[in-house]
Amino acid sequence: MGTTGSVDRRSLLKAAGASLATLGLTAAGCGSGSGSGGGTVTIRYAWWGADDRAKKINQTIALFEKKYPKIKVKTDFQPYADFWTKFQTQASGGNPPDVFQNAIGFLRKYNDKHVLLDLNAQVKAGNLSMDGFRAGLDAFGEVDGKLLGIPVGSNSMSLVIDKDAYRRAGITPKLGWTWDDYYAGLKKIHDGQHIAGDTGPMGIMYVYDLVLRQAGKAFFTEKDLGFTEADLTEWWNKGFEGVKSGIYADPKKVEQIKPKAGLSDGLSAGEFTWDNFSVRYTAEGKGNYGLAPIPSTDGKTTGQYLGSLMLSGSARTKHPKEVAQFINFMVHEPAVAKIMGYDRGVPSTTAQFDAFKPSDTVAQGISAYETQIATAGVLQTITPHPAGADTCEAAFLRIANDVSLGTSSVDKGVKQFFSEAKTALGT
C-alpha cells in the first residue's frame, strides 16, 4: 500500500529467493527472553525514507533510549528501492536488522522465508500491547495466526482533486458517488476547461484492487491473483479509451514531467493516490487541492481499507524482548506522534492520534478524510499479499504504461502481465 512516498513504483525490484537453510531460525530468535545477560544491548533498526524522516526518527530514538537506558539503537536508512535491495542481501546472509520498517506486500514473502519474528509471544509476555489501535489496524499485520507487523501509521486510497477545477465544473464529490458520476465529471471538466479530468488510474494496482473489491473480488488472494484476464482486459480497455477521449491525461506528457505529478503540473484535475501522499501536490503545484471519496459501483461499497507502514522484528534477533519494547514505544508513546506527525501516515493508535493535532490544512484534510471513511463504515479488511506481490505491482504499472502509450495492445499487455505474475507468484 501507500509506502513509498513520491518514489516511482517502477523502482520496485524483483527480489531473488533465498534458501530456507540460509534463512533458518536460531534458538535465540524464537524465545521471549532478551539474551542480554542483564547488561546493555544494542538493536539494529532500519527503514526507508529521506533525510527529513531520518531526523524525526532519530529524535524518537533519543526519547526511547532515555526511557530504556540499557537499550541502544543503531540506525540505518535508505531510499525505498535501495532499502529492499540491502534487506534482501542481509536476509539472505542471515543478518537482517533486529527491527525494521515493513509493508503488507512483504509479510508473506519474508514469512515464507522464516525471516519475520512472530510477536505474539511478546504480547503474551506483556512487552507489547495491541490495545488502542484505530479501525481494526491491530490485525493488519497478522498472517496465518502469526503477528508479523505492527502498524505505525495509516493511510487509505483517495482521489486528490483540484477543488477549483471541480467547482468550475459544478461537481461536488461526496460519499456515495458512483463511477458513472466520476466519468461524467471527468468529461465535463475536459469539455469545459480543456484539461484532462484525471491523470489516469489504469496502472495503479491499488485503485484496480478497489474496483475488484467492489465486485466481490480482489487483486490478490492468499497465493494468487484474484481476477481473470477478461477482468483486466475490460479495465485496461476502459483506461485506453479514456486516454483517447481526453478525459485521462496524455501519457506522453505525464512521462515528460516526471517526477512531478500530472495533477500538480496542471495536466489534469485529479488523480488517485494514498491520502498521506497528498502533501506532495501543495509542494509541487499551485492549485487548491483536496481529498475526494473513492467512487463505487453501487453507491455504497468502496472496497477501502486502512493500509499502513509497519514495524517488524527479525526471527534471528537475540533480543526479542527489547525489539518488542521498542515497537511498543514507537506506536503508543504520545511524544513520538508529536515528532513524527503524519510522516508515515495518520498515527495508528488512538493515544498517538489524539496527541498530534495537525495545524496545516493538508494534514487536517487527511485526518478529516480518514475520520470520515471510518465513521461511514466503508472500511474493510485486506488479505496480506502473497510472496511476489511487489514484482506483480511493478509489472502492472510498467505494462499498463506501455498500453496507455500505445506501444503495446491491451490484449498483448494482459497476456504479458499474467505471464509475469504467474512467474512471480510461483503459480
Indicate whether 364 belongs to any domain: no
pLDDT single digits (tens) 353-371: 999 999 999 999 999 999 9
CA 76 from chain centre, in angstroms, equals 21
Residues 261 and 391 reside in one and the same domain: yes
- Within a domain: 1: no
Report if residue 2 sits inside a domain: no
User: How far apart, in whole angstroms, are the C-alpha atoms of residue 305 and residue 374?
Assistant: 9
For position 223, which CATH number holds? 3.40.190.10
**What is the domain extent for residue 119?**
9-151+309-358
- Residues 117, 164 within the same domain: no
Kindly report the pTM of this predicted structure: 0.82
Q: Are residues 138 and 204 in the same domain?
A: no
Q: pLDDT digits over 144-158, tens only? A: 999 999 999 999 999
Query: Are 106 and 177 in the same domain?
Result: no
On whether residue 264 sits in a domain, the answer given is yes
DSSP 265: T
31 in the same domain as 146: yes
Note whether 231 and 293 are same-domain residues. Answer: yes
**318: number of Cβ within 10 Å:** 19
The model's pLDDT over 45-78, given as tens digits with 9 standing for 90+, comes to 999 988 889 999 999 999 999 999 999 999 999 9
**In degrees rounded to 5, what are phi and psi of residue 333?**
-70, 120
CA distance 17 to 23: 10
Would 317 be classed as within a structural domain? yes
Instruction: Give CA–CA dist 325/342, Å, rounded.
Output: 22
Residues 60 and 195 in one domain: no
Residues 299 and 177: beta-carbon distance below 8 Å: yes
198 with 232, same domain: the answer is: yes
> pLDDT per residue over 273-310, tens digit each?
999 888 889 889 999 999 999 999 999 999 999 888 99
Q: Does the structure show a pLDDT above 70 at 5?
A: no
The verdict on 286 and 319 lying in the same domain is no
Residues 163, 290 contacting (CB under 8 angstroms): yes
User: What total of structural domains would you count in the chain?
Assistant: 2
Which of 44-48, 190-194, 342-346, 406-410 is least confident?
342-346
Question: Does residue 348 share a domain with residue 315?
Answer: yes
Q: At what angle do helices 229-245 and 410-425 cross, to 10 degrees?
A: 140
**Could you tell me if 202 and 114 lie in one domain?**
no
In a domain, 88, yes or no: yes
- The stretches of 333-388 forming alpha helices (DSSP H) are 334-340, 350-355, 361-376
